[in-house]
């Protein structure tokens, strides 16, 4: 039986959509950039081997995103979205770097 009071994720889903300002979008972009730079510093700049590795990494992050959603943990949900964005950027860049002409 659902609780009478919606959790944080439910509040976001159930609320009316709100306009996002340029500043809010830039803040999110900067959050992803900072995480990307941290990841590059920790794990260096090696590309993903190919689409299968990229998919595996994004799938793992997606599983963690789903866990955060089920746990109703907005902070972890946010962090996993950032991780997915970083993985997507690295995957896109890896495709370009590894492209065969």
Q: pLDDT tens digits, residue range 7-34? A: 444 555 556 778 889 999 999 999 999 9
At 44 the pLDDT is 85
Dihedral of CA atoms 13, 15, 17, 19 in degrees, nearest 10, equals -120
At 7 the pLDDT is 47
User: Can you list the residues of the chain whose pLDDT is less than 50?
Assistant: 1-9
At 22 the pLDDT is 95
Answer for the pair 48, 94: CB distance below 8 angstroms, yes or no.
Answer: yes
């Amino acid at each position: 039986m659902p609780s009478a009071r919606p959790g944080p994720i439910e509040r976001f889903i159930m609320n009316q959509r709100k306009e996002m300002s340029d500043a809010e979008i830039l803040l999110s972009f900067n959050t992803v950039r900072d995480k990307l730079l941290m990841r590059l510093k920790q794990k260096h700049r090696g590309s993903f081997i190919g689409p299968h590795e990229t998919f595996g990494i994004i799938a793992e992050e997606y599983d963690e995103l789903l866990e955060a959603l089920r746990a109703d943990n907005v902070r972890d949900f946010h962090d996993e979205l950032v991780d997915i964005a970083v993985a997507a950027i690295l995957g896109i860049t890896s495709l370009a770097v590894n492209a065969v002409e």
